Amino acid sequence: MTDASAQTRTDGRQVAAVAAGSLQARGLSKSFPLSRGFLGRPSAHVRAVDDVDLDVTAGTTVGIVGESGSGKSTLGRLVSLLERPDSGSVVLDGQDVTRLRGKALSALRPRLQVVFQDPFGSLDPTKSVAHAVAEPLLVHGRIRRSGMLRAAEELVSRVGLDPGLARRYPEQLSGGQRQRVCIARALALEPWLLVADEPTSALDLSTRSEILNLLLGLQEDTGQSILLVSHDFATVQHLAHRVAVMYLGRIVEEGPTQEVVGNPLHPYTRALLSAVPVPDPAVQRTRRRIVLHGDVPNPANPRPAAGSAPGAVR
């Protein structure tokens, strides 16, 4: 990270040697118009992501955690090249892929796949599961149309579903089944990085654990690299090897997950962790909820408070 005030557990080098199978984001920034003034020109911008560095190495899960509006989903979209940054770079295996377009970008797409938050809106209701799952393989010339059903059956089986579900339509599936289908589709092209953007937030509690365990098992079996975006520290703690905490578009703390959870250095991190419920009611009753006080910085102009404590710890 370039923000000197962010709490980090690294050796201090801004750019590490690029290993085989690694993704490095450097200085990523992205703003969106907040309002428009005379002649429709933007009069103000909100900095969704502000000068962020991030590293993902092969076979690891990196968690991005923060509240709504922290910029975590935008960061995921930048890393997966669904959005173009205003500045900064994304380097995959030593190649700067930030500005790829056309055929070069299409050729890279199989390596960076996304599982979105809403499984109900991610699938075309007019297309069968087989079509949804196997279409990426068809588009990239890896199978013929006649082989779509067989390929889909193999993929849905891989994520713990009955192969027969490949003949069904999304409306015939539960929320958990739909999300498994979305994961199967994302894995069809054998991506190097899977960006999972709040993959369980639209599901009930019992189904959430099934999806998390599925992702964990897939990584253990295949060495899949995952960027997990979540507002829930408990989810990140369950899956991630490393965690980065985002606040107002910046990473304020990052490091190995157990170190960050066991010894949080930033007040915002401590506040997020204090909001995670503990299963033991007796322990939960004795816990102190950390409340941050003070004015919330303006997202359109967060510089004075960016990287500093968002409030005093009581």
φ, ψ (nearest 5 deg) of residue 207: -70, -30
**pLDDT, position 276:** 81
Measured CA distances, 277 to 76, 127, 148, 201, 290 (Å): 26, 40, 44, 16, 13
Do residues 119 and 179 make contact, with C-beta atoms less than 8 angstroms apart? Answer: yes
**pLDDT, position 202:** 82
Structure tokens at 197: 């953007």
Q: Between the ranges 2-11, 129-138, 273-282, where is the mean pLDDT highest?
A: 129-138
Pick from 13-22, 23-32, 86-95, 157-166: least confident: 13-22
Structure tokens at 292: 């941050």
Confidence band, pLDDT 50/70/90 cuts, at residue 160: very high
Do residues 45 and 300 make contact, with C-beta atoms less than 8 angstroms apart? Answer: yes
Confidence band, pLDDT 50/70/90 cuts, at residue 36: low
141 contact partners, CB below 8 Å, separation of at least 6: none
Q: What is the distance between the alpha carbons of residues 194 and 252, in angstroms, rounded to a whole number? A: 24
- The pLDDT of residue 20 is above 70: no
**pLDDT, position 39:** 66
3-state helix, strand, coil in the chain (%, to 5): 35, 25, 40
Instruction: Write down all domains in the chain, each with its CATH number in brackets.
Output: 7-120+193-206+220-313 (3.40.50.300)
Q: What is the DSSP letter of 25?
A: E
In tens, the pLDDT along 60-85 reads: 999 999 999 899 999 999 999 999 99
Measured CA distances, 247 to 89, 164, 307 (Å): 21, 44, 8
Give the per-residue SS3 of 80-130: CCCCCCCEEEEEECCEECCCCCHHHHHHHHHHEEEECCCCCCCCCCCCCHH
Element (H or E) spanning 189, and its range? Answer: none
- In single-letter form, the type of residue at position 233 comes to F
